[in-house]
Amino acid sequence: MTSKIVKLLEIQTIYILFRIFEQNYIQIKIQIMFKKITILSLMFIVLINSYLRADEGMWIPLLLQKYNIEDMQKKGFKLTAEDIYSINQASMKDAVMIFDGGCTAELISDKGLIITNHHCGFSQIQDHSSLENDYLTDGFWAASHDEELPNKGLTVTFLVRMEDVTAQVLAGVADDGEESVRQAAIDKNIEKIKEEAVKGTHYQAKVKAFFYGNQYFLFVQEEFLDVRFVGAPPSAIGKFGGDTDNWMWPRHTGDFSLFRIYADKDNKPAEYSENNVPFTPKKHFTISMKGTQPGDFTMVFGYPGNTEEYLTSYAVDMIQTKINPYRIEIRQTSIDLMLADMEKSPAVRIQYADKHASVSNAWKKWIGENNGLKRLDAVNVKKQREATLTQWINQDETRKQKYAYILPEFEKIYADYAQYSFAEEYFYEAIWRMESVKMATRMRYLVEKGSEFKPEDVEKIRTSAKNFFKDYNLETDKKIFKALLSLYVTNVDKRFQPEFSTFVKSKYLDLSDPKKLDAYVDFYFEKTFFLHEDQLMKFFDTYAKADYKKLENAPAYQFYTNFMNMYVAQIMPVVKSYDQKIANLNRFYMRALMEADSAKIFYPDANFTLRVTYGKVADYEPKDGIKYKHYTTVDGIIEKDNPDIYDYRVPQRLKDLYAAKDYGDYAENGELHTCFIATNHTTGGNSGSPVLNANGELIGVNFDRCWEGTMSDIMYDPAQCRNISLDIRYALFLIDKFAGASYLLDEMIIVK
């Protein structure tokens, strides 16, 4: 080892030591920098690496026995890897599911009862709500199975088994060459694997890439189609704190809802039918009333959506400086306009509740992510790691031939790619999210059918349109359309704007002129008949052969098609080409990282497949001089009570229970705990995931992360990353004492 490499390693060692121990105010002597790396310092490196990944990682359940179970047991876990994942016996995997294609849920009874987050079930709660039956405001609790509400399109999906199929996927596939050709060969192999995996069964199969295509796993799944709404607290509890408290700690949100899986008489998946019966699962979780203490082992088992821990400095810089700031600005604009109308009208509040929550969630996350990346100096940290990798590559001629080109090629690509990525993000955030554009996409179906349409085609769109108008307010859409179009025209390069003269009349052509923009927006909404429900339904009543041309001539349809044509011609092919090049580079870059640090256990990025994360209950110090304990109580809810602010209007029933201290068996030392935090590595998709103790018992339901740690999708920081969970005892209290639905607790196994 050359002295230059030794010094580099020494400096890195000091840097890591300083970052880790500064949180505990331990002074590190600077003279270590000038010493040779000794056996002792090598031991420090091992310990530090262990610390850095102690609570970091989203681990594949199939591989726990090989990589993680010993570490988990050292940290307090009292079960085995087979208890978590098994195909030979009932295991925890059989109690965890994908909920509605984007969240996680878990079984809590032998009668198919499941719990997930309130925000995961929010769209179903909204769908069943009206001014007459406002379940968003009042909550809902079915008094019997007969009162449980069906949900069209809602599914839950269980993992039956998973398998490493890397060899089969890459059989006959060249390691280099044209990426599109290579991917076509991979796709062909995957289709064959999936077909064989589910032959003769009612199961579904998917194959997912891990480590940027260096590894592949098959997932065989079982999907249930009849999932009914059982109960949820009012939004004043289920969304308490709203967007103000979203991503924040301390938190006091009762973020849960209950659903039930139904099956046919043979306990198999079936479409909704009155003859279906509650599903009998292989496994459901026991619920613990013990609570949490700092240092307690915790495990989150669920479906994290997407992380990008192995991005290069060039990618992180693009996200931090070129993409996120504009995403934030666009969504801030929509949020402000939605909220203003929601506060004025109860009807609009119901119509836009889910939309507002959806838009604001990522908006606030991106703000926290950027702050975290800046605080960690993420781009420069990535550059330092790339410099170390480059040095390792250059030490060996074979490695130079395999890997030396990668980082220079990344730099070259991102220099040009960033402008196209920016244009694509702006298109999706500012144009594609417009409600009038979404309606135009529905009309495209009939336009493409042309004069060959069938009556059922019209009925299909009529049904879709009715669903659209149920949650649509034209005046709100009009305000948002105007604001977002103005942002697009102002901030996006002219190359990535359609030729407005092809669909905007000359008197409106200069949309950068506020007066002309106002006039065009008025014209757009007045003359687009399919944005007016009464006009559209009359149009459908008499729909004839040539009527699709009326759809084509509507201003909103012309706007949509011209923007779409521009995107397809100017942005999409370039982005796709760069994405393919980056995918190829990422595959080899990931391989180089893993070869350079062969002693390290790498975890794959999240890709909405079942993962285990584990850590411990812990306090939290987000800023200098501020320290939060690991839990919150109902006291904080009462302290925040403010009837003038929608997010903080505490229901009178909860205030009465608080005044009487009527907490039943759910309090701890006279306090009713509401939420707690731990160091588990989570992300989107983990919403609704079970939080389990050392015995595998349910102690909470994961629902959020601390704002200062949202950059964990890109760079994990053990000092700042905390997952936020609902204390399961608060959920039981609300079901029993608040809602009077204690019959539901009779289904559960609850231990003290």
Residue positions annotated with a catalytic role:
119, 255, 687
Residue 180 sits at the vertex; the CA angle it makes with 176 and 185, to the nearest 5 degrees, is 75
DSSP string computed for 309-347:
TT--HHHHHIIIIIIHHHHHHHHHHHHHHHHHHHHH-HH
Outline where 3-63 has alpha helix (H).
Answer: 3-21, 39-52
Asked if 722 and 702 count as a contact pair (C-beta separation under 8 A), the reply is: no
The conformation of residue 604, written as its DSSP 8-state character, comes to: P
Q: Could you tell me the two tokens for 625?
A: 């001089």
CA-closest candidate to residue 473, choices 550, 537, 531: 531
Cβ-based neighbour number of residue 267 at 10 Å: 13
User: Residue type at 606?
Assistant: A
CA distances to 228, 389, 494 from 147, rounded to whole Å, are: 9, 61, 56
Task: Tell me phi and psi for residue 447, to 5 degrees.
Answer: -65, -40
Token pair recorded at residue 705: 């992360």
Query: What gap in Å lies between CA 410 and CA 421, rounded to an integer?
Result: 15
How far does CA 711 lie from the centroid of its chain? Answer: 13
C-alpha distance across the termini of the chain, in Å: 58
- For residue 312, give the nearest of 371, 386, 372 by alpha carbon: 386
Q: Distance between CA atoms of 366 and 364, rounded to whole angstroms?
A: 5
Give the amino acid at 432. W
Name the token pair of 698.
């349910």
Identify whether the C-beta of residue 648 lies closer than 8 Å to the C-beta of residue 642.
Answer: yes
Q: What is the DSSP letter of 736?
A: I
**H-helix or E-strand spanning residue 159:** strand 156-164
Compute the Cα dihedral for 720, 723, 728, 734 and give only its sign: positive
At which residue do the structure tokens 């996350």 appear?
365
| Number of neighbours of residue 251 by Cβ within 10 angstroms | 23
CB 206 within 8 A of CB 194: yes
The whole-angstrom separation of Cα 155 and Cα 687 is 16
Fill in the amino acid letter for 196: E
Q: Which residues pair with 677 in a beta bridge?
A: 724
Residue 216 contacts residue 166 (beta carbons within 8 Å): yes
HEC profile of 64-89 = HHHHCHHHHHHCCCCCCHHHHCCCCC
Rounded CA separation 198/221 (Å):
9
d(CA 168, CA 193): 8
- Rounded Cα distance, 70 and 74, in Å: 6
Residue 581 and residue 560 in contact, taking contact as beta carbons nearer than 8 Å: no
> Tokens 């992300």 appear where?
683
**CA angle, corner 120, sides to 693 and 270, nearest 5?**
95
At residue 650, what is the residue type? V
Q: Cβ of 354: how many Cβ atoms within 10 Å?
A: 18
Q: Is 419 helix (H, G, I), strand (E, B) or coil?
A: helix
Q: Please name the residue that has the structure tokens 């983990």.
A: 686
Structural contact between residues 648 and 237, judged by C-beta atoms closer than 8 angstroms: no
Q: Using CA atoms of 160, 162, 168, 170 in order, give the dihedral in degrees to the nearest 10.
A: 130
